[in-house]
Amino acid sequence: MKEYSIGEMSRRTGVKVTTIRYYESRGLIPSPARTTGGQRRYDEVGLERLAFLRHARELGFELDDIAELMTLSEAPSEDCAPAHEIARKQLATVDRRIAILTRLRKELARMADADDPGHAGKCRVIEVLGDHRLCIGPHDTWQKHPAPGKHHRGRGSLNGLNESPLEVKTK
């Protein structure tokens, strides 16, 4: 049977080594056998599960949903309805995100295309950013705002749109 180091698993799937370890700690991929030196040695099942995980994360599925989908994949005689429900829920999330992005795009296009006299004192972009009332509509789509002086590392905005679908969300 073919075995893979964690580095080989990472290269074959494009998933970072630290993320593979996290998935293992969550039980999403099986804990591999280890060499006498302590190196992880994954098998084909581990590689296939990791590829499944990566693909599901690319489609934006949450880890809990992926775990449920993996459980279903291991029980071929079970009803498929829960998998479809999970997919429908993810589709609804994507549709909400598209609606948010459409509104944001419209507002940004209006700001960017405004005729200005050419100096910052009368710049439409700066004026709109300084006074929310000048916007064409509500776009308060942020889930979380960082506290003043805090950096949010791109998380929490637009229900997670700024984060890579492959990054691990920890709660």
DSSP string, 69-105: HHHHHT-TTS-SHHHHHHHHHHHHHHHHHHHHHHHHH
In a domain, 71, yes or no: no
Q: Both 85 and 155 in a single domain?
A: yes
In a domain, 64, yes or no: no
The predicted-structure confidence for 58-83, as pLDDT tens digits, reads as follows 999 999 999 999 999 999 999 999 99
Q: Tell me the residue range of the domain where 107 lies.
A: 81-160
The predicted-structure confidence for 107-133, as pLDDT tens digits, reads as follows 889 888 888 777 787 788 888 888 888
In a domain, 171, yes or no: no
In a domain, 131, yes or no: yes
The predicted-structure confidence for 19-61, as pLDDT tens digits, reads as follows 999 999 999 998 898 988 989 999 999 999 999 999 999 999 9
Query: Based on the number of CB atoms within 10 Å of its own CB, is 42 exposed (0-12), middle (13-18) or buried (19 or more)?
Result: buried
Q: What is the CATH number of the domain that holds 41?
A: 1.10.1660.10
Full-model pTM: 0.70
The C-alpha angle with vertex 137 and arms to 131 and 141, in degrees rounded to 5, equals 90
